[in-house]
């Protein structure tokens, strides 16, 4: 590349950071350059995203632990999901976990340094009775542990949102997943507008919202830009970026090969775009980071300031010690009232630092889905 072009691209990255910090919206052409112009070098782009990340989150990383609180048997047909009725994946289905089980897992999440405990329930949405039960569990967790609580209950209305807010819920998750245009090709049992309405209900009730995306589901560059812009328009304070894990039995696996689109560099460019368009948001390098970012996961912490630890809904992820070590090695610290070094020492004692490079997704077994913390 001629030197003058390199300088122009370096200046482009620098301007991105300054404009993002000023709150300016990027043009579509700038978004496209971030994602797909190989002349825009990756390291200066990461540096631009890091400047913005540092401005609002310094070097902290929020650790989230996800709890698969009700697994499988979902009547919806999201084609990427192994819990959907249309999937025949070998997962361990179970109804909603008991209150004591969810409480014990909340305690374990807090003890392991999690900033936030996220309970996820398979299904279209909760009944009024289920909302009441969830509200009572949330109250108990908030009474007993100083941990942020996030709930992913499916579609809810204004009444449900108000009820959960009154119970002390901090945050409600409902992912947009992809663009409005692409949504109809991944799900037919509910619409993009249904998803938006759930987010509006949560916002109206005063709940903080968490909404993100899954990339690698056959979407175009334009679809990614559209959903990231939509999340900005919604002023979403928490954005998980999932990298599609093609799991056995989920219908989308037969239609889409995410490895075709998702190189580690492209994944990092997506994280940079999300950061530069959503400067203040908590951006999570979420499910699939092991599979798609591989050895470059640590670099994802330059745009992102949050991670899941202990795997995802139905698949395993890097171990607790490996996750802490990656954070420490990158010069980052955790957002917690606990010390990273102490947690790392305890985690290393509790489990051998095994190499789980994860070239293949691995289903969680029942022991991983329902650990026995109860006496």
Q: Is 217 in the site for ligand SF4 (CB under 6 A)?
A: no
250 binds ligand SF4 (CB under 6 A): no
**Total residues binding ligand SF4 (CB under 6 A):** 9
**141 vs 149: CA distance, rounded Å:** 8
Partners of residue 63 on adjacent β-strands: 307
By CB under 6 A, is residue 74 in contact with ligand SF4?
A: yes
Using DSSP bridges, classify how beta strands 213-215 and 208-210 pair: parallel, antiparallel or unpaired. Answer: unpaired
Q: Is 84 in the site for ligand SF4 (CB under 6 A)?
A: yes
Task: Point out which span in 44-52, 77-85, 217-225, 284-292 binds ligand SF4 (CB under 6 A).
Answer: 77-85
Question: Does residue 219 interact with ligand SF4 by CB under 6 A?
Answer: no
C-alpha–C-alpha distance, residues 99 and 203, integer Å: 27
Question: Residue for token digits 């690698």?
Answer: 216
Region of 4-12, 81-89, 268-276, 319-327 interacting with ligand SF4 (CB under 6 A): 81-89
Of residues 128, 179, 175, the one with CA closest to residue 150: 175
Minimum distance from CB of 61 to ligand SF4 (Å)?
26
Scan for tokens 């109804």, then name that residue.
95
The residue among 26 and 69 lying less far from ligand SF4, judged by its C-beta, is: 69
Question: Whole-angstrom Cα distance, residue 333 to residue 341?
Answer: 9
> How far apart, in whole angstroms, are the C-alpha atoms of residue 170 and residue 42?
35
Q: How far is the CB of 100 from ligand SF4 (least distance, A)?
A: 24
Per CB under 6 A, the list member of 65, 102, 122, 320 interacting with ligand SF4 is 122
Rounded-to-integer distance, Cα 264 and Cα 193, Å: 31
Contact status: 81 vs ligand SF4 (CB under 6 A): yes
Out of 34, 44, 49, 76, the residue judged to bind ligand SF4 by CB under 6 A: 76
**Binding to ligand SF4, residues 128-167 (CB under 6 A):** 154
The residue (of 126 and 317) whose beta carbon lies closer to ligand SF4 is 126
Question: For the stretch 163-173, what's the b/e string if a residue is b when 16 or more beta carbons lie within 10 angstroms of its beta carbon?
Answer: bbbebebbbbb
Tell whether residue 78 is a contact of ligand SF4 (CB under 6 A).
Answer: yes
Q: Find all residues with CB under 8 Å of 128, minimum gap 6, and list them.
A: 159, 160
The piece of 78-86, 139-147, 286-294, 338-346 that touches ligand SF4 (CB under 6 A) is 78-86
Closest separation between CB of residue 84 and ligand SF4, Å? 4
Among 20, 62, 67, 83, binds ligand SF4 (CB under 6 A): 83
One DSSP character per residue, 65-98 reads EEEEEEBS-BSS--TT-TTBTT-------B-PPP
Which residues of the shown chain bind ligand SF4 in the complex (CB under 6 A)? Answer: 74, 76, 78, 81, 83-84, 122, 124, 154
């Amino acid at each position: 590349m001629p030197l003058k072009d390199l300088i122009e691209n370096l200046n482009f990255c620098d301007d991105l950071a300054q404009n993002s910090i000023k709150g300016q919206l990027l043009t579509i052409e700038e978004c496209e350059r971030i994602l797909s112009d190989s002349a825009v070098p990756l390291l200066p782009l990461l540096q631009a995203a890091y400047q913005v990340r540092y401005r609002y989150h310094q070097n902290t990383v929020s650790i989230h632990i996800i709890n698969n609180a009700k697994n499988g048997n979902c009547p919806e047909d999201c084609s990427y999901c192994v819990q959907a009725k249309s999937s025949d994946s070998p997962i361990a289905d179970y109804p909603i976990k008991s209150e004591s089980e969810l409480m014990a897992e909340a305690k374990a999440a807090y003890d392991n340094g999690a900033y936030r405990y996220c309970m996820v329930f398979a299904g279209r949405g909760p009944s009024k009775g289920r909302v009441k039960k969830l509200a009572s569990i949330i109250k108990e967790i908030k009474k007993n542990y100083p941990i942020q609580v996030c709930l992913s209950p499916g579609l809810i209305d204004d009444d449900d949102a108000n009820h959960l807010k009154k119970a002390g819920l901090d945050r409600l998750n409902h992912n947009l997943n992809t663009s409005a245009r692409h949504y109809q090709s991944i799900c037919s049992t509910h619409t993009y507008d249904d998803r938006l309405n759930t987010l509006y209900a949560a916002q109206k009730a005063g709940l903080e919202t968490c909404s993100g995306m899954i990339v690698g589901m056959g979407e175009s560059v334009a679809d990614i830009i559209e959903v990231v812009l939509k999340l900005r328009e919604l002023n979403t304070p928490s954005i998980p970026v999932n990298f599609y894990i093609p799991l056995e039995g989920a219908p989308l696996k037969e239609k889409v090969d995410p490895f075709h689109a998702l190189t580690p560099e492209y994944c990092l460019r997506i994280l940079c775009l999300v950061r530069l368009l959503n400067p203040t948001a908590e951006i999570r390098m979420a499910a699939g980071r092991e599979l798609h970012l591989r050895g470059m996961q640590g670099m994802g912490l330059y745009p992102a300031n949050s991670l899941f630890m202990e795997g995802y809904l139905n698949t395993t992820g890097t171990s607790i010690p490996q996750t802490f070590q990656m954070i420490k090695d990158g010069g980052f610290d955790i957002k917690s009232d606990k010390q990273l070094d102490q947690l790392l020492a305890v985690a290393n004692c509790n489990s051998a630092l095994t190499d789980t490079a994860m070239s293949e997704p691995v289903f969680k077994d029942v022991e991983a889905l329902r650990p026995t913390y109860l006496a």
